[in-house]
């Protein structure tokens, strides 16, 4: 059974600081996804990582994937309040993928 673990589950940080969220998964996976969810809202796709060593950046967020370590990281640079949300990683398996298996989420709060 594929398991996905994120840490930390809760993160409170000050504006301007840097931090990293970690996502570990238990078995071989072909794709890793990062999503953002605001309270009471649905999920917004942030990144899709397709191969070992993949790195993607959008604004203050950068995601990377190490398939050998079964680890993905979401790095936040110079955090701003607007980044406050819950961040989920998810993995899928198989050449075409199907179901996504999600982590528990990291609830990020950026304080002024």
Binding site for another protein (CB under 8 A): 4, 31, 33, 35, 41-45, 48, 50, 88, 90, 92, 96-105
CB of 99 to another protein, least distance (A): 4
Distance, in Å, from the CA atom of 109 to the CA atom of 79, rounded to the nearest integer, reads 10
For the stretch 27-52, what's the b/e string if a residue is b when 16 or more beta carbons lie within 10 angstroms of its beta carbon?
Answer: eebebbbbbbeeeeeeeeebbebeee
Identity of the residue, 8 or 97, whose beta carbon is nearer to another protein in the bound complex: 97
Identity of the residue, 39 or 112, whose beta carbon is nearer to another protein in the bound complex: 39
CB of 89 to another protein, least distance (A): 9
CB of 57 to another protein, least distance (A): 16
């Amino acid at each position: 059974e594929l398991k996905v673990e994120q840490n930390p589950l809760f993160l409170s940080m000050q504006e301007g600081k840097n931090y990293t969220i970690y996502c570990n998964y238990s078995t071989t996976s072909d794709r890793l996804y990062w999503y953002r969810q605001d309270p009471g809202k649905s999920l917004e796709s942030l990144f899709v990582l397709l191969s070992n060593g993949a790195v993607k950046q959008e604004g203050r967020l950068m995601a990377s994937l190490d398939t050998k370590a079964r680890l993905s990281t979401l790095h936040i640079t110079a955090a701003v309040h607007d980044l406050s949300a819950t961040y989920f990683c998810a993995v899928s398996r198989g050449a075409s993928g199907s179901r996504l298996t999600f982590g528990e989420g990291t609830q990020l709060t950026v304080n002024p």
